[in-house]
A and B are shown apart, each in its own frame.
Chain A
Amino acid sequence: MEFALKTTQLSKTYGNGVTALQNVDLAVPQGDFYALLGPNGAGKSTVIGVLGSLVIKTSGRVEVFGVDIDNNFPQAKSFLGVVPQEFNFNIFETPLQIVRNQAGYYGIDRRTALARTEQYLTLLGLWEKRNDQAGQLSGGMKRRLMIARALVHEPRLLILDEPTAGVDIEIRRSMWDFLREINRSGTTIILTTHYLEEAEHLCRNIGIIDSGKLVENTSMRELLRQLHLETYVLDLEQPLATIPVGLDRAARLIDPTTLEIDIKQEEHLNDFYRLLSDNGIRVNSMRNKANRLEELFISRVGHSPLEGK
C-alpha cells in the first residue's frame, strides 16, 4: 500500500535543546482521515512543520506519497496543503490576493488560479469578503481563509493544525461536513485537535503523541472498542478490605470506600448488583465516569488533553 505519509524514526531537537520529536513512526494510508492528538507541547505542530519544510528534521525519514523529502522536497511539497495553527498571511492583503497568489506559488496559471480562488472562497463562505483586508476578518473567517488557501492547488494530502480552535459550534459542524466531503472526494486528511469529540466524529485512524513520542497509533474503531466498556464509580457505605472473588476481574478498589467497576456492553448492571448484595456490600451512590475518550487519553498520556504540562 502506498502511504500518503510515512515517517520513520523521525526526530527533532530544536536549537534551544528542546527535543520535540523522538523516533516517531507514523503511517497514514492514502485516503485516510487521521487525527493526531496530544497535549500542548507534545510535538504535533513540529511534525507538521517538518512536512512543510518550516522545521528541519534532526534525523529520520519522511515520505509523502512515496517521495522522500530528502530526495525531492519540492515534489513532496506539491502534494501538500497546510493549514497552520497560527495565522500566517499578510494582514494587508485581501483574501482574493492571498489565495490567488498561493496558487501561483504552485505554478498554477493566473486564469485557473482565479477560477479556483472563486471556487474555494465561495465554498468556505468568504467570496463576499474577497476584497476586505485579511487582518479585518473575524477569527473563524481567518481560519477558513487559510483552509481555502491550502486547497487552491488541490493537494492530495491536506494537513490541518487545530483548524477548529476558536471556531463556534455551528461553524465547527459545517467545517466537519466540509472536511468529510473533501476526504470523500479522495483527499487524505491529517488533523490535530484538542477536541476528542472532533476526532471521534471525523477520523478513521488516530495517533496520540506525548512528549515527542507516539504513544498510541490505532484505528478509531479499535479505540472505541476499548471504550465499549463503561466505567462506574461506586461510593460504598462500609470500607472494604479486599475485592470479593467474582468481582475482581472487573473492579478496582480506589480507596476503602470507592470501588470502580468496568461493565462491558453485553453485561448487565443487575448481575453486578447481585454480586455486590451477595457479598454484603452496600452502595450509597453511583456515577458514570467522565468522557470515555478523554479517559482513554488520560490513561495514555497521564493528563487531560486540555491541560498542558
Chain B
Amino acid sequence: MTPREQWIAYATIVIKEITRFMRIWQQTLVPPAISTLLYFVIFGSLIGKRIGQMDGFDYMDFLVPGLILMAVINASYQNVVGSFFGAKWGKSLEELLVSPTPNSIILLAYVTGGVARGLLVGLIVTGISLLFTDLNVFSIGILISVAVLTAILFALGGFINAIFAKTFDDVSMVPTFVLLPLTYLGGVFYSIHLLGDFWQQLSKANPILYMVNAFRYGFLGISDVSLSVSFAMIGFFIVCFFALSLYLLTHSKRLRA
C-alpha cells in the first residue's frame, strides 16, 4: 500500500471507532460523567470540607486532576478492549485481517480511537469539575502531554487485553482487578506523604502514581515524584506495550488459527 492508501485505511478505522463510541454514548460517555459527579459531590464537597488541605491545596483542587486522569485511563482502555474484542468475537475483525492494511496501521488506528474517547471523557469530566471549583492551570503543555501519553498507554493496554481475551469476562477482569486498585492506590485521592515509609516506597512501584502526579503537576505545580521520572516511565511503558501489541497482532494464535 502507498502511504496515501495507508492513511486512508487509518482514517477509515479511526472514523469507524469514533462513530462507534459516539453511537453508544449512553454506555461510553454518560457513565464516567455520572461516577465523577458522584466522586466530586461525596469526596470533594461533602467529605472534602472536613479533610481540609492536602499538600497545601484545598482537597477538591487536589482531587480533580486525579479524577480526570482516572476517567481518561478507564475510557481509553475500555474503548480499545471493548471494540477490538468485540470485532474479534463477532468476526468482523476478519474484514481488516484479509485486507492489505498493515498491522501497524490497524494498531495505530485503534489506539487513536481509544485516545479520542479518553480525551473526550477527560474534557467532559473537566467540565463537570468546573461546577465545583475553579481550575488553575500551572502548565497546559504538561497537562495535555500527560493526558495524551497516558491515554495512548492505556489504549495499548486495552489492545493487549483484547487479543488475549477469550470471553467477555476476560475483558472486565483487568479493569476490575488491576486498573481499579492501581488507580485508587495511585495517589488519586491522597498524597503519598500521608503514608509510612514502607507504603510510600511500595506506592512508587505503581506506574499510575507517576502519571497522576505528573498530571496534577500540570494543574497545581506540585508532585510527589520527579516529573522526568514520570515521563520516562510513561514513555518506557508505551514503547514496550506498542512492541508487544504489534507482535501479538502479527503472531498471536488468538487472532489467526
Contacts and interface: CB of A to CB of B under 8 A. Distances in A.
Residue with the highest number of chain B CB atoms closer than 10 Å, among A14, A98, A102, A149 = A102
Interface residues of A, number: 34
- The A contact surface, by secondary structure, is loop
Contacts of B19: 97
B12 A77 contact: no
B131 to A, nearest CB: 34
Given A89-B92, A91-B90, A14 B6 contact: no
B4 A88 contact: no
Interface in A69-112: 74-75, 77-78, 80, 82, 84, 86-91, 93, 97-98, 101-102, 104-110
Given A90-B90, A101-B12, A107 B97 contact: no
Contact of A105 (B96, B253, B257): B96
Contacts of A80: 98
B8 A15 contact: no
B16 interface: yes
Interface residues of B, number: 29
A15 B257 contact: yes
B99 A105 contact: yes
Interface in A38-81: 49, 52-56, 74-75, 77-78, 80
Nearest to A51: B98
Given A49-B257, A53-B256, A107 B90 contact: no
Nearest to B257: A55
Contacts of A105: 9, 12-13, 95-96, 99-101
A106 B99 contact: yes
Residue with the highest number of chain A CB atoms closer than 10 Å, among B95, B97, B256 = B95
B257 A74 contact: no
Given A53-B97, A101-B16, A74 B1 contact: yes
B127 interface: no
Nearest to A16: B257
Contacts of A86: 91
Contact of B98 (A82, A87, A101, A107): A82
Nearest to B7: A107
B95 A52 contact: no
Interface in A106-137: 106-110
B9 A88 contact: no
A52 B94 contact: yes
A54 B96 CA distance: 10
B100 to A, nearest CB: 4
B11 A104 contact: yes
B87 interface: yes
A108 B100 CA distance: 12
A108 B92 contact: no
Given A53-B256, A90-B90, A101 B95 contact: yes
B59 to A, nearest CB: 43
Given A91-B90, A101-B12, A77 B2 contact: no
A109 B91 CA distance: 25
Nearest to A76: B100
B221 interface: no
B22 to A, nearest CB: 13
Residue with the highest number of chain A CB atoms closer than 10 Å, among B6, B8, B16, B253 = B8
A149 B95 contact: yes
Contacts of A53: 97-98, 256
A107 B253 contact: no
A83 B86 CA distance: 21
Contacts of A88: 90-92, 94-95
B52 interface: no
A109 B8 contact: yes
A307 to B, nearest CB: 25
Nearest to A98: B95
The 5 closest A-B pairs by CB, nearest first: A107-B5, A104-B12, A105-B99, A88-B91, A74-B100
Given A49-B257, A54-B94, 9 more contacts: A53-B98, A74-B100, A74-B101, A77-B98, A84-B94, A89-B92, A93-B92, A107-B8, A108-B8
15 contacts: A74-B101, A75-B100, A77-B100, A88-B90, A88-B91, A88-B94, A89-B92, A90-B86, A90-B90, A101-B95, A104-B9, A105-B99, A106-B5, A106-B9, A107-B1
